[in-house]
Chains A and B, each alone.
Chain A
Amino acid sequence: MTESHDMIVIKDLYKHFDSIKALNGVNLTVKKGKVIVVIGPSGSGKSTMLRCINHLEVPTSGEVWIDGKHLGKKEKELNAIRAEVGMVFQLFNLFPHLTALENVTVAQKVVRGRSKEEAEEIAMKQLIRVGIPEKADAYPTNLSGGQQQRVAIARSLAMNPKIMLFDEPTSALDPEMIKEVLDVMLDLAKEGMTMVVVTHEMGFARSAADEVLFMDEGLIVEHTTPHDLYNNPKEERTKLFLSQILQH
């Protein structure tokens, strides 16, 4: 595998929910090890694009390849591909009936067929990596938002994903917890993980992103480096959007 190997390829992606046109022809190629930040106004299709990448949402039309594998209709193949694509949600979506450790082991055992011991060993390594091994036996309700999100990241990482997708991972967090989650994500980026991150955290985009996408009305309107996008956006819509988020 070379550096320029394509990890995600999206071609002519459309997603319509009845009359709502969430995606209207998205094309994107993400090279291995790249970090892509996605920004755009509410309802512009950012989440939908992310969810189409692992076919959590089945596209209306268009094609997706993950590491060269085409995503088709067969459930078994889709499950296998999804296991390779980690996803982190805005509201964490931890499993509340399981401890932090069990949250990280369950899919390893069920999907990867790992033994309890092996899964727990890997889970502990991931919990150490995200900085909360001491919370292994805590239930999600007893964890802060930041801790929950870090467990969610560990849960995805334990599957040894090739790609990590983040959908506004810090926007449900209190300000003092945002940094602890972003730090974990920065480490991941440095280690060479291929990442697509929907976030309005400009600091993260500037320090970790290789490319930034601006989406509007289900289309990628601008696709460039963080520096160019934030400093001299070309499109009017991008300028308007940036001026709005910078005010806040």
Chain B
Amino acid sequence: MDNSLPVSDEKASMQLKDISWWFLGLVLIFVWAIYIFLTKENYQEAFNFIKIGIQITIKTSLIAYVFALMLGLLAGLGRISKNLFFNNLSRLYVELIRGIPMLVLIFFIALVGVPMLVDGINALGVWLTTIGLASIGETLSGFGNKAFTMNGRAIFALSITYGAFLAEIFRAGIQSIGRGQMEAGRSLGMSYGQTMRHIILPQAVRNVLPALGNDFVAMVKDSSLVSVLAVRDITQVSRLYAGSTFRFREAYVTVSIMYLTITVVLSLLVQVMERRLRKHD
């Protein structure tokens, strides 16, 4: 009978639904965190101890991400390459990495892969020496496992692992570009590589920027796994703190808030970027 009432009712409930309660929850958690860090000595102490790991966490993530981008681009190109060797090698790489838990991969790459690599470099050095290139040969054969720090190995392991994930993103991005683009480039006399570089990749990368950003956020979180190599990132430092003081609550609240701060800020940046990109379409 009266139409206006249910409509306005619906409006009111719509408004309740429209509020991002989850975001409000996040804000509350941050407010609470700021409060305890400002007022509680235990938490201040934990914060001051654990913050020495921030630099390692950020450095490890950033460097590993840059290497993962290069590796991922290469393997992504390999996945769509007509060169059978390159194609299959890339596929094998991606499947191997995706089939093994990340924690195991990190142990494996750092503790088995790197020593194998060192043995390989040494053998190459010996061989170079025997064929008369003693100057390079001797430096290579002199390489020891110590030349690779655990921090370096952690970065190496994360790069290889995430390279495979990013490869799939790059592949999907390239395949999202219509085949007419490659044909137009080739018909103008550009080579496959030139067309890829000047025509396909700029469009593909732009399409996958949000996905790449999200994987960076994921990598920051997964960088905590390198604590198993005793790399002093915030996870490892908080474990050390908890172990020596038995203040588990302070240690893990602090480190959680640190990760949350980094990832929430990064995720918001990715969202802003996504919106900008969509506007330009």
Binding site for B on A (CB under 8 A): 54, 56, 75-76, 79-87, 89, 91, 93-97, 106-107, 110-111, 152, 155-156, 159
Contacts and interface: CB of A to CB of B under 8 A. Distances in A.
Contacts of B191: 75-76, 79
A83 B185 CA distance: 10
Given A89-B180, A93-B180, A111 B188 contact: yes
B44 to A, nearest CB: 50
B214 interface: no
A54 B206 contact: no
A107 B188 CA distance: 6
Nearest to A109: B198
Interface in B186-217: 186-192, 194, 198-199, 202-203, 206
B180 A110 contact: no
Given A79-B191, A95-B181, A110-B194, A56 B203 contact: no
A78 to B, nearest CB: 9
Contacts of B95: none
Contact of B188 (A75, A76, A82, A96): A82
Contacts of B222: none
Contact of A56 (B186, B192, B194, B198): B186
B189 A89 contact: no
Contacts of B180: 89, 91, 93
B184 interface: yes
A56 B189 contact: no
Contacts of B202: 97
Given A89-B180, A95-B181, A82 B186 contact: yes
A156 B187 CA distance: 9
A97 B188 CA distance: 17
21 contacts: A54-B187, A56-B183, A56-B187, A76-B191, A79-B190, A80-B189, A82-B187, A82-B189, A83-B188, A87-B184, A89-B180, A89-B183, A89-B184, A93-B178, A93-B181, A95-B184, A95-B199, A96-B203, A107-B188, A110-B198, A159-B188
B198 A106 contact: yes
B14 to A, nearest CB: 34
Interface of B: 178, 180-181, 183-192, 194, 198-199, 202-203, 206
A156 to B, nearest CB: 7
A155 B184 CA distance: 10
Contacts of B198: 106, 110
A4 B71 CA distance: 54
Nearest to A155: B188
B189 A111 contact: yes
A199 to B, nearest CB: 18
Nearest to B188: A107
A143 to B, nearest CB: 15
A121 to B, nearest CB: 18
Nearest to B281: A141
A89 B187 CA distance: 10
- Nearest 4 A-B pairs (CB), nearest first? A83-B189, A107-B188, A93-B184, A87-B187
B187 to A, nearest CB: 4
A80 B189 CA distance: 6
A84 B190 CA distance: 11
Nearest to A94: B184
B185 A107 contact: yes
A155 B189 CA distance: 12
A107 B190 contact: yes
Contacts of A86: 187
A85 B184 CA distance: 12
Contacts of B189: 79-84, 107, 111, 159
A95 B203 CA distance: 9
A83 B189 CA distance: 4
Nearest to A102: B198
A176 to B, nearest CB: 24
Contacts of B187: 54, 56, 82, 85-87, 156
Nearest to A76: B191
Nearest to B180: A93
Nearest to B184: A93
A187 B191 CA distance: 30
Which of B187, B190, B203, B206 has the largest count of A CB atoms less than 10 A from its CB?
A: B187
Given A106-B198, A106-B199, A110-B194, A93 B183 contact: yes
B279 to A, nearest CB: 13
